[in-house]
Amino acid sequence: MSGLQLAALLVVYAVVGTVGLIMMKRGLPADLSIFPLSFESVLRFSQRCMNLLVIVGFICYAGSFALSLVILAVRPLSFAYPLMGAVAYVAALVAAIVVLGERVTPVGAIGVVLIGVGIVLVARTP
């Protein structure tokens, strides 16, 4: 797999996973809880999670997992896993800001810049 193919696969992995996360986040009720832990609370939790946004989001997230297997099959774990995690984190953070209106602190923004630098450094490693 060429570097360009890997980059394209990483972008698709991050986008599909992030779309899944955003859909699940939008589909989950804000007051969702299984506590106090009981059979009834777990059943209620399961019922409240069964909606189209959560189900399609889960399918997208599972698709990103499948793409991660492809990446792991062709690259060393020490290279692929940190790169996938960093790219997915940055994609999810940007989506949370743009789509969900979440805020990032200045320290968080510095952290994202450092992650970006890390992505570049790891990507230059064979």
Q: What is the pLDDT of residues 86-114, one digit of tens each?
A: 899 989 999 999 999 999 999 998 998 99
Query: Would you state the pLDDT for residue 115?
Result: 87
User: How far is residue 121 from each of residues 13, 79, 83, 96, measured CA to CA in Å?
Assistant: 20, 10, 10, 25
Q: How confident is the model at residue 59 (pLDDT cuts 50, 70, 90)?
A: very high
Q: Model pTM? A: 0.85
What tokens appear for 50 in the block?
Answer: 């069964």
pLDDT tens for residues 11-45? 999 999 999 999 999 999 888 888 888 999 889 88
Closest CA to 15 of 105, 99, 73: 99
Which residues have C-beta within 8 Å of that of residue 98, sequence separation ≥ 6? none
Distance (Å, rounded) from C-alpha 57 to C-alpha 106? 30
